[in-house]
Structure 1
Amino acid sequence: MCTVIVRTGAPLTLMGVRDELADRPWEGPGEHWPEYPGVVGGRDLKAGGTWLAVDPAAGRAAALLNGRGTAAPDNVRVSRGDLPLKALAEGGLPDVDLAAYDPFHLLLADVSGARLWSWDGVRQAALTLPDGVSVIVNTGLDSGDPRVQAQRPRFTATTDWWPLTDGPHSSAPGALILRHELPDGRLYASLSVTMVTLSADAVTTEFRDLTSRIGSQA
């Protein structure tokens, strides 16, 4: 996941845009983890975890972004994809050895608000998202990142978020739906968008696969 937008309030709305190598195998939302019954999310088929998942019974959603900092040692490193699943089950930052994980940002949301934990490989920090619209990227919450600067005003100005994901993939600074051809010939792009709405009465999830839209670079 590379961009998560959250609007607090009633209902709480969370949108996650997943950017990844186009040839990395994955599958769309489902109940893929028997050890976490009822949890629904997309699954990364290489490591088995998820970038965003929802527990409708608990009224919770969790999202994971790669962070910046010091990588975990090769001999102890484990996939970060289990963190959203554990956060949903435990209702907070999972009780794990953070030193085994590469840097990350982990978001957990319910009807009361959203909490963000960040790990840079050395230090762990936590904060509660403020009222209104927040944009989280790989560099953190509402930073000076061009994507945050470009997208936060757009998402603040409307409650109808899906049209903001329309249009071609782009390599432009600040683009929400991106596409980059890497020097080695591989393609890195926005592959899917998930939107979750959490209210006291219901949890709704909408998912869109963007792979058919990647096309050529704009």
Structure 2
Amino acid sequence: MCIMAMAWAAHPRWRLILTGNRDEYHARPAAPLTHWDDRAGLIAGRDLQSGGTWLGVSEAGRAAIVTNLRGYGGSQPDRTSRGALVTDLLTGVGTYADVATASLAVFNPFNLILVDADRAHFLTNRPQPLRALLTPGLYGLSNGALDAPWPKTLALKAALLEWMTTDAEQPDRLFDALRRESLPEAGIAPASPSDAPDEAAASPIFIRNPLYGTRCSTVVAVDRDGQGHIMERRFDHEGEDSGETRLRFQW
């Protein structure tokens, strides 16, 4: 994922609202959002190149999302896929299943948020490994530091806040903000160009590009009773809709 906004324990009805776009090379194969056959209780899309996921939920009461962290050079292909960290943390099974002890240094630069039944964790491995608990509130994350005031991050957080403070009844309305292609003027533009060579140095929330662009948008909504929805909209190399999946789950 390349941008996300999250409200954690910040609304009287919703325990978790998470919205995000995955930006990736269109040539990289991926499977749509679904229940995984080989990982009990896991609901996520799947990176068919490395086998992990970028965002998902678990019927064990977890949600997780990872973004690349830029400014530390390009990815090193011999490192473990960041998707493996997300998958293990979601399912509680595997080499990286324990949030307190998982080795963070073996991955390319990343930011990760993991939500479980009553906590939200933030993990990163640059400039050094860090594990922290997040207090209830509204957060934004792209490819820089947590809550860095990049224009598109501020815009997505503002859209989520507006939804929360108006009707907050239909989570699928959050897809509108994830589809914005204009760059807002507020905030501080990223100080360095992207590690993806064909991505704009300061990009909008939705990237329309035939080589590297927004592949899918996802909205996760879990209410105070643990009833959850996860919705994914997918896009082709021209930025046009190519499919949608909506699934329910229970925490």
Which TM-score tier does this pair reach, normalised by the shorter chain? 0.7 to 0.9
1:29 deviates by: 1.2
Which residue, 59, 69, 89 being the options, matches 2:61?
59
The answer for the alignment partner of 2:133 in structure 1 is 128
- Root-mean-square deviation (Å): 2.7
TM-score (norm: length of structure 2): 0.71
- Output the TM-score relative to the length of structure 1: 0.81
Indicate the larger mover: 125-134 or 91-100: 91-100
Q: How does 1:37-52 map to 2 (within 5 A)?
A: 37-52=40-55
1:189 maps to what in 2? 213
- 2:43–2:58 contact (8 Å) kept in structure 1: yes
Aligned mates of 1:172, 1:140 — CA distance in 2: 16
Q: Note closer, same or farther for the CA distance 1:96–1:73 as it changes in structure 2 (3 Å cut).
A: farther
* Contact map agreement 1:92 1:108 (CA 8 A) in 2: no
Which residue does the alignment assign to 2:233?
208
* Pairwise CA distance, 1:40: 1.1
Q: Take 1:18 and 1:26, find their aligned partners in 2: how far apart are those partners?
A: 11
The count of aligned residue pairs is: 206
Q: Deviations over 1:159-213 (max 9, x none)?
A: 3422223455886945211134xxxxx6111110111122333121111112276
2:3 is the alignment partner of 1:3: yes
| Alignment partner, residue 183 of structure 1 | none
Gaps of 5+ in 2: 165-172, 184-199, 241-251
Does the C-alpha gap of structure 1 residues 165 and 70 become closer, same or farther in structure 2, counting only changes over 3 Å?
closer
What amino acid is the match of 1:27?
A
Instruction: Give the aligned partner of residue 145 of structure 2.
Output: 140
Percent of counterpart pairs with the same letter?
Answer: 27
Gaps of 5+ in 1: 181-185
Return 15-24 or 3-12, whichever deviates more. 3-12
**Partner SS, residue 153 of structure 2:** helix
Residue 213 of structure 2 aligns to a residue whose secondary structure is strand
- How far is 1:71 from its partner? 6.9
